[in-house]
Structure 1
Amino acid sequence: MKKLLLLVCTMACLLSCTSHNDYQANVQNPDRLHRSVKKITDIIVHDIFSPPVASRIYAYTSVAAYEAARHQDSTLVSMAGQLHGLEPVPQPQAGQTYCYPLASVQALLLTGRALIFSEDKLDEYHKALLEEYHQSGMPEDVYQRSIDYGAKVSEHILKWASKDNYKQTRSFPKYSIQDSESTWKPTPPAYMDAVEPHWKKIRTFVIDSASQFKGVPPPAFSKDKNSEFYKLAIEVYETGKHLTDEQKEIARFWDCNPFVMNVKGHVMFATKKISPGGHWMNITHLACLKEHTDVPHAAEAYAKVALSLADGFIACWDEKYRHLLIRPETYINLYIEESWVPLLQTPPFPEYLSGHSVISSAAATALTGVFGDNFAFTDSTETEFGLTTRSFKSFREAALEAASSRLYGGIHYRPANEKGVVMGTSLGEFINRRLRTRNTAVASNQ
Structure 2
Amino acid sequence: MFQINRCFYKITFVSLLGPLIFISCRTDSENKALQPNDVAIEWAKMTLFITKNTPSNSPTFASRAFGYIGVTMYECVVNGYENHNSLQGQLNGLTTLPIPKNTKEYNWVLALNAGQSYILKNIYVQTSEKNIKQIDSLENVILKQFSNGIPEKVVSNSITYGKEVAKAIFEWSKNDGGHRGYLKNFDKTMVHSNVPGSWKPPLFAQSFSHHPLHPHWGENRTFVKENSNIPDPDYLPYDTISGSPYYQQFYDVYKKEGELTQSEKEAAIWWGDDPDVSFTPPGHSYYIATLAAESSNSDLITVAKAYAHTGMAVADAFIQCWKWKYSFFTERPNTFVPKYIDEEWESFWPDPPFPSFPSGHAIQAAAAAKVLEKNYGTNFKFTDRAHEGRARDDVRDTDFKIRSFNSFWEAAQETADSRFWGGIHTHLDNQVGLEKGTVIAQNINKLNWKK
Q: 1:43 aligns with which of 36, 40, 50?
A: 50
Q: Is the 8 A contact 1:27 1:101 kept in 2?
A: no
Find the counterpart in structure 1 of residue 156 from structure 2. Answer: 144
Unaligned runs of 5+ residues in structure 1 are: 1-16, 260-271, 440-446
Q: 1:427 aligns with which of 429, 432, 440?
A: 440
Find the counterpart in structure 2 of residue 246 from structure 1. Answer: 263
Find the counterpart in structure 2 of residue 161 from structure 1. Answer: 173
Range with bigger deviation, 150-159 or 222-231: 222-231
What one-letter code is carried by the residue in structure 2 that aligns with 1:436? Answer: N
1:203 and 2:216 aligned: no
Report the Cα distance in structure 2 between the residues aligned to 1:207 and 1:314, rounded to whole angstroms.
12
Find the counterpart in structure 2 of residue 348 from structure 1. Answer: 353
Q: Is the 8 A contact 2:318 2:360 kept in 1?
A: yes
What one-letter code is carried by the residue in structure 2 that aligns with 1:430? Answer: N
Q: Is the 8 A contact 1:27 1:99 kept in 2?
A: no
Report the Cα distance in structure 2 between the residues aligned to 1:181 and 1:394, rounded to whole angstroms.
40
Report the Cα distance in structure 1 between the residues aligned to 2:111 and 2:149, rounded to whole angstroms.
13
Partner secondary structure for residue 378 of structure 1: strand
Report the Cα distance in structure 2 between the residues aligned to 1:159 and 1:62, rounded to whole angstroms.
15
Percentage identity across paired residues of the two chains:
30
Question: What's the offset of the Cα at 1:97?
Answer: 2.5
Report the Cα distance in structure 2 between the residues aligned to 1:370 and 1:153, rounded to whole angstroms.
24
Deviations 1:116-161 (A, max 9, x none): 1115234212322233234321433322222111111111001111
Deviations 1:81-102 (A, max 9, x none): 1101112311223243222112
Find the counterpart in structure 2 of residue 4 from structure 1. Answer: none
Matches within 5 A, 1:213-232: 213-217=231-235, 219-232=236-249
Q: Is the 8 A contact 2:70 2:307 kept in 1?
A: yes
Report the Cα distance in structure 2 between the residues aligned to 1:243 and 1:173, rounded to whole angstroms.
37
Partner secondary structure for residue 388 of structure 2: helix
Q: 1:111 aligns with which of 119, 122, 134?
A: 119
Report the Cα distance in structure 1 between the residues aligned to 2:129 and 2:428, rounded to whole angstroms.
43
Question: What's the offset of the Cα at 1:336?
Answer: 2.1
Q: Is the 8 A contact 1:213 1:423 kept in 2?
A: no
Taking a change above 3 Å as real, the CA distance of residues 224 and 365 of structure 1, as seen in their structure-2 partners, is same
Taking a change above 3 Å as real, the CA distance of residues 239 and 110 of structure 1, as seen in their structure-2 partners, is same
Find the counterpart in structure 1 of residue 372 from structure 2. Answer: 367
Question: What's the offset of the Cα at 1:384?
Answer: 5.2
Q: Is the 8 A contact 2:79 2:86 kept in 1?
A: no
Question: What's the offset of the Cα at 1:19?
Answer: 4.5
Question: What's the offset of the Cα at 1:210?
Answer: 3.2
Question: What's the offset of the Cα at 1:173?
Answer: 6.2
Matches within 5 A, 1:119-198: 119-136=128-145, 137-139=148-150, 140-167=152-179, 174-187=189-202, 188-189=204-205, 190-192=207-209, 193-198=211-216
Matches within 5 A, 1:61-76: 61-76=69-84
The 4+ residue runs of structure 1 with deviation greater than 3 A are 17-23, 25-29, 167-175
Q: 1:394 aligns with which of 390, 407, 413?
A: 407
Q: Is the 8 A contact 2:363 2:433 kept in 1?
A: yes
What one-letter code is carried by the residue in structure 2 that aligns with 1:59? Answer: G
Partner secondary structure for residue 224 of structure 1: coil
Q: Is the 8 A contact 1:113 1:119 kept in 2?
A: no
Provide the TM-score with structure 2 as the length reference: 0.85
Find the counterpart in structure 1 of residue 18 from structure 2. Answer: none
Report the Cα distance in structure 2 between the residues aligned to 1:227 and 1:18, rounded to whole angstroms.
66
Taking a change above 3 Å as real, the CA distance of residues 278 and 174 of structure 1, as seen in their structure-2 partners, is farther
Range with bigger deviation, 93-102 or 272-281: 93-102
Q: Is the 8 A contact 2:302 2:375 kept in 1?
A: no
Taking a change above 3 Å as real, the CA distance of residues 74 and 209 of structure 1, as seen in their structure-2 partners, is closer
Find the counterpart in structure 1 of residue 286 from structure 2. Answer: 281
Q: 2:40 aligns with which of 13, 33, 37?
A: 33
Provide the TM-score with structure 1 as the length reference: 0.86
What one-letter code is carried by the residue in structure 2 that aligns with 1:31? Answer: D
Deviations 1:22-59 (A, max 9, x none): 89x95643223222222222222222411111111111
Question: What's the offset of the Cα at 1:21?
Answer: 9.6
Report the Cα distance in structure 1 between the residues aligned to 2:43 and 2:218, rounded to whole angstroms.
29
Q: Return the index of the structure with the highest Cα Rg.
A: 1
Q: Is the 8 A contact 2:318 2:364 kept in 1?
A: yes
Q: Is the 8 A contact 1:101 1:296 kept in 2?
A: no
Taking a change above 3 Å as real, the CA distance of residues 376 and 18 of structure 1, as seen in their structure-2 partners, is closer
Question: What's the offset of the Cα at 1:421?
Answer: 0.9
Find the counterpart in structure 2 of residue 436 from structure 1. Answer: 448
What one-letter code is carried by the residue in structure 2 that aligns with 1:79? Answer: L
Question: What's the offset of the Cα at 1:209?
Answer: 5.1
What one-letter code is carried by the residue in structure 1 that aligns with 2:163? Answer: A
Q: Is the 8 A contact 1:213 1:426 kept in 2?
A: no
Taking a change above 3 Å as real, the CA distance of residues 94 and 213 of structure 1, as seen in their structure-2 partners, is same
Q: Is the 8 A contact 2:270 2:387 kept in 1?
A: yes
Taking a change above 3 Å as real, the CA distance of residues 21 and 438 of structure 1, as seen in their structure-2 partners, is farther
Q: Is the 8 A contact 2:388 2:401 kept in 1?
A: yes
Question: What's the offset of the Cα at 1:112?
Answer: 1.5
